[in-house]
Amino acid sequence: MASNIGNRVRLSVFGESHGTAVGCVIDGLPAGEALDWGEILTQMARRAPGRDKTSTPRQESDTPELLSGTLGSAEEGTLRTTGAPLAMLIRNQNTRSGDYAQLARLPRPGHADYPGFVRYQGYNDVRGGGHFSGRLTAPLVFAGAVCKQILRRRGVRVGGHILEIAGVRDRRFDPVSVNGGMLEGLSARPFALLDPAVETPMREKVEAARMDCDSVGGIVEVAAVGLPAGLGSPMFEGMENRLAALLFGVPAVKGVEFGEGFGFAGMRGSEANDPYAYDRNGRVVATSNHNGGLLGGITNGMPLLLRAAVKPTSSIGLPQRTVDLVSGEDAPLTVRGRHDPCIVPRALPVVEGVVCLGLLDAMETERAGE
């Protein structure tokens, strides 16, 4: 497997849905960084299931235990990084493996069951999806919450919102005026939207799918402000390359775009190019931001903007068609267990998290502006 990534700030993720634990090792964090434990738990809670009807009623404690890499006390607010690898684990509980007993032979459509079976010759842990489970995103949120705090002290703020669920659309970030205060506000909310009026229709779509034993997909939009210009490297170590490599590590993400993204296909250059001007402080700014803060993979000092498409939850209650890998015959499948009719709200803090990880890694690797 290859559940690790990063240049200077490197993440190694481990665990299975129904095994002993999930967790991660973050190697290369700067030393002496204060960690607000409460903020980490807040971000973990945004991802945790069981909060409302859009998610599975499974209760997961999701309480991370620190194993290494810090000194001080979370309770007393004196927790700091030491610069050594920061390891964390979350013990699993409340798992009902019986729900998944049939999966070893009946791969679920839309899941990694069948490719995983071939890749690991049938030796992989299929209970709850094993290492492919959405539960593995808990360490991603944890790592992101650590990085987010360090980024904030460097003047970088990251936040996002649900842009679309089941065809119901929030408005997009204003690519020029999006700011840190707004992003911090969104990042504290469980169901983050720019336009609160779309919450009800979105939730209705999710509830309708739930009633049908079905699921719906969506899009999340994330922004980062305060990045220095000049961050990123050409060709394969641009910010787009690095962030995309992280974002496609989030289960269910099937598309990533920066700035106008696929919308560029219908634009002309005269519209797409962002003109430059000096602002009042003599700083170079762009007067529009169709490119999402990135040109040639390198930041230009404008807000970084990206969107990630999230496919509908693969686990649905409706009957499906699959194959029986043991008998060698086609077979019907009804997936039991408790599943999210819509993963999008829980995917948002994960996407924000990996963006934070990618940005801090780039800043530690390149020290832009120094």
| 25 closest CA partner among 83, 91, 89, 90 | 89
What is the three-class DSSP state of 124? coil
Q: Please identify, using beta-carbon distances, which residue of 75 and 123 lies nearer to a second copy.
A: 123
What is the distance between the alpha carbons of residues 350 and 247, in angstroms, rounded to a whole number?
A: 9
Closest approach of a second copy to the CB of residue 350, in Å: 12
What is the distance between the alpha carbons of residues 329 and 331, in angstroms, rounded to a whole number?
A: 6
Q: Please identify, using beta-carbon distances, which residue of 197 and 268 lies nearer to a second copy.
A: 268
Contacts of 328 (CB under 8 A, 6+ apart): none
Vertex 76: Cα angle to 71 and 82 (nearest 5): 15
Residue 180's H or E segment, with its range, is helix 180-187
Q: Please identify, using beta-carbon distances, which residue of 42 and 66 lies nearer to a second copy.
A: 66
Residue located via tokens 């001080």: 72
Closest approach of a second copy to the CB of residue 117, in Å: 8
What is the three-class DSSP state of 266? helix
Structure tokens at 119: 């890749």
Q: Please identify, using beta-carbon distances, which residue of 53 and 181 lies nearer to a second copy.
A: 53
Closest approach of a second copy to the CB of residue 232, in Å: 7
Structure tokens at 124: 């992989």
Q: Please identify, using beta-carbon distances, which residue of 43 and 124 lies nearer to a second copy.
A: 124
Closest approach of a second copy to the CB of residue 190, in Å: 20
| 260 closest CA partner among 221, 299, 300 | 221
Closest approach of a second copy to the CB of residue 263, in Å: 8
Q: Please identify, using beta-carbon distances, which residue of 71 and 188 lies nearer to a second copy.
A: 71
Closest approach of a second copy to the CB of residue 78, in Å: 12
Under a CB-based contact definition with an 8 Å cutoff, are residues 244 and 261 in contact? no
